[in-house]
Amino acid sequence: MSRVVTRPCDPALPGGCWMSARLSASEPTTELACGTCASKAPLLLEGLSSAGGVSRCLACGHPELYRQKDFPKALGISIVVIAAVAAPFTPYYASLFAAALVDAVLYWSLPERLVCYVCGARHSGFADVPRHPRFDREIDERLKYGQRAVMGKPMREGGTANAPEPEH
């Protein structure tokens, strides 16, 4: 599987274009590039661990990352919409059960990617060492609202690398 880093060209602009970089041993890459707006950003390769994993974001250098399934949301929504439209025409709404089964199979078979809390960069195809926990609302609110965040403990020193799973 190829190792890919993608991030929004302008994180403040939802639905905008994305810059990306494909990392391979044969062709070392040092920057992210967008094919749409031609913007570029440096790739911070010091965030790579010796085991081939990601210890910090390769786009912005921030140590707080979380895991999520590498699954296109549009495909998931399409499966549900098709099943819902077909439901009245299938016995016992069997299309909804079929959609749930397809969803479960995809969930367990698809790989995970790492996402940066700060810049939204997605890191796919990297080794799982160090392991980062799944999304934690506490970390997200701390980073978005800083001192105004009303919940939570202080940030972990060293980021999310090898941190425990959130308690929720």
Residues 94 and 162 in one domain: no
> Per-residue confidence at 150, pLDDT binned at 50, 70, 90?
low
- pTM (two decimals): 0.83
Q: Considering its fold, how many domains does the chain have in total?
A: 2
Question: Residue 21 is part of which domain span?
Answer: 1-70+112-168
pLDDT digits (tens, 9 = 90+) for 17-36: 999 999 987 777 889 999 88
Q: Do 143 and 105 lie in a common domain?
A: no
Please indicate, yes or no, whether residues 79 and 157 belong to a single structural domain of this protein: no
Instruction: Identify the burial level of 66 via C-beta atoms within 10 angstroms of its C-beta, where 0-12 means exposed, 13-18 middle and 19 or more buried.
Output: buried
Residues 152 and 93 in one domain: no
What CA–CA distance (Å, rounded) separates 148 from 137? 14
Same domain, 63 and 131: yes
Whether residues 45 and 123 share a domain: the answer is yes
Percent of the chain with pLDDT strictly greater than 90: 61
Pair 134, 51 in one domain: yes
Enumerate the H helices of 44-168 as residue ranges: 73-86, 94-109, 137-145
Residue 118 sits in the same domain as residue 102: no
The burial of 159, by beta-carbon neighbours within 10 Å (0-12 exposed, 13-18 middle, 19 or more buried), is given as buried
| pLDDT tens profile 57-78 | 999 999 999 999 998 889 999 9
Residues 29 and 3 both lie in one domain: yes
